Amino acid sequence: MQPNQHPYRYYLKWILADQGGGQFDFKLLTFETENQVQAFKEKIWSDLSAYDAISFQSEATHLAKKKLCVFDMDSTIINQEVIDEMARLFGFYDKVAEVTEAAMQGRLDFADSLRDRCKLFTGLPESRLREILPKLTLSPGAQRLINYLQSTGAKTAIVSGGFEFVLRHFQTILKVDQVHGHTLNLDANRNFTGSVQEPIIDASRKRVLVTQMKQEYSATLEQTICVGDGANDIEMMKEAGISVSFCGKEKLKTAANTLILKRDLSLLEKLI
């Protein structure tokens, strides 16, 4: 093993919060045991008030040229939860939003909760569902970050438990390489049947899709980045050297090795 490839050599990188001038800095740290690595991360993660963003990554990950970055869609690439905004458009936002939040926190089974929420839209014309598109907005820094990744030669993808027609819309805008989402089941009159094509893209399916893309692009764990905001993103992040919680739920923040605490995806540029 090369000296600079020691498994317990880690980089801590951070961007101070606005009151600190948004300053970026980093340091190389060496640990004797894996337990020491985990204890150090837990200590840093226990008080994040000084930071806009922070990353604690292995030296191997720091040195690796990144080949693949996979994003969640709702509340990550875009500011909204699509199914919540559809419900707002059609008059039952409160009922749907409560279920969405519980699913993102990991308190409900994602697949079952998605099926239940979809049933509420049964019978709506596809054209009416598409009325949601103008109401959806990119998260701050999303376009800049993806442009940066593409300039380095990295492949970009969106893997979502949301709807494919929304992903295709933003794929056209962002020029990402792949999108994976749910296809609506429509009847002969192109009305929504209240269900989506299987398999449901839950946490385990997201991980499968990331694994497949890593193989397709010959990307190692250290060359892969995953970005999300909810508990259902934790599994796919096990396939990434840089696992990013973007203003994420507590379960994800605990699992991730990189946190963006300010709503600006472009902060990730300095941490990868």
Which residues participate in catalysis according to the annotation? 72, 74
Q: Measured between alpha carbons, how far is 18 from 4 in angstroms, rounded to an integer?
A: 33
Ramachandran assignment for 63, one of left (phi > 0), alpha (psi -120 to 50 degrees), beta (any other): alpha
Asked whether 110 and 117 are in contact (CB, 8 A), the reply is: no
Which element (helix H / strand E) includes 259?
strand 258-260
DSSP string, 169-187: HHHHHH--SEEEEEPEEE-
Beta strands 224-228 and 192-196, pairing class: unpaired
**How far from the centroid of its chain's Cα atoms is residue 155's Cα?**
15
